[in-house]
Structure 1
Amino acid sequence: MKPVLEVKALTHTYSAGTPFEHKAIEDVNLEVMPGEFLGIIGHTGSGKSTLIQHLNGLLRPTGGEIRLDGEDIWAKPKEIRRVRFQVGLVFQYPEYQLFEETVFKDISFGPKNMGLEDEEVERRVRQAAAFAGIDEEMLEKSPFDLSGGQKRRVAIAGVIAMEPKVLILDEPTAGLDPRGREAILAQLRDYHRQKGNTVILVSHSMEEIARNVDRIIVMSHAHKLMDGTPEEIFSRANELLQVGLDVPQVTKVAMELQRRGLLPDSSIYTIDELVRRLLALKGGEAVC
Structure 2
Amino acid sequence: MTVEPILQVEHLVHTYSEGTPFCRSAVQDMTFSVRRGEFLGIIGHTGSGKSTLIQHLNGLLQPTSGRILLDGKDIWAEPKKIRDVRFRVGLVFQYPEYQLFEETVYKDIAFGPTNMGKTPEEVDRCVREAAAFAGVSEEQLTQSPFDLSGGQKRRVAIAGVIAMDPEVLILDEPSAGLDPEGRERLLSNIRTYHAAKGNTVILVSHSMDEIARNVDRILVLKDAKVLMQGTPREVFARAEELESAGLNVPQVTKIARALHQRGLPIDPAVYTVEELRRAILALRGGGSPC
- What TM-score bracket applies, with the shorter chain setting the length? over 0.9
CA positional deviation for 1:265: 3.5
What is the CA distance between 1:264 and its match in structure 2?
4.7
Please state whether the residue corresponding to 1:10 is helix, strand or coil: strand
Give the match's secondary structure for 1:61.
coil
Structure 1 runs (4+) deviating above 2 angstroms are 284-288
Residue 111 (structure 2) aligns with: 109
- Asked whether the equivalents of residues 278 and 287 of structure 2 are also in contact (C-alpha less than 8 Å), the reply is no
Of 56-65 and 111-120, the range deviating more from structure 2: 111-120
What corresponds to 2:178 in structure 1? Answer: 176
Shift of 1:286: 8.2
Instruction: Provide the rounded CA distance (Å) in 1 between the counterparts of 2:98 and 2:264.
Output: 49
Q: Hey, what's the Cα distance between the residues in 2 that align with 1:258 and 1:117?
A: 59
Matches within 5 A, 1:1-288: 1-283=3-285
Aligned-pair Cα RMSD in Å: 1.3
Gaps of 5+ in 2: none
CA distance in 1, matches of 2:193, 2:246: 32
Secondary structure of 2:152's counterpart equals: helix
SS in 1 for 2:5: coil
Fraction of identical pairs, as percent:
69
Give the Cα separation in 1 of the matches to 2:189 and 2:245: 32
Q: State the number of aligned residues.
A: 288
The 8 Å contact of residues 266 and 279 in structure 2, kept in 1 or not, is answered as no
The residue type paired with residue 18 of structure 2 is A
| Counterpart Cα distance in 1 of 2:245 and 2:168 | 29
**Distance (whole Å) between structure 1 residues aligned to residue 101 and residue 84 of structure 2:** 23
Offset of 1:254 from its aligned partner? Answer: 1.1
Q: State how far apart, in whole Å, the 2-side matches of 1:286 and 1:120 are.
A: 50
Shift of 1:263: 3.2
Does structure 1 retain, via aligned residues, the 8 Å contact 2:9–2:31? yes
CA distance in 2, matches of 1:261, 1:65: 48
TM-score of the aligned structures, taking structure 2 as reference length:
0.97
For the Cα contact (< 8 Å) 1:254–1:263, is it kept in 2? no
TM-score, L = length of structure 1 = 0.98
Shift of 1:281: 1.2
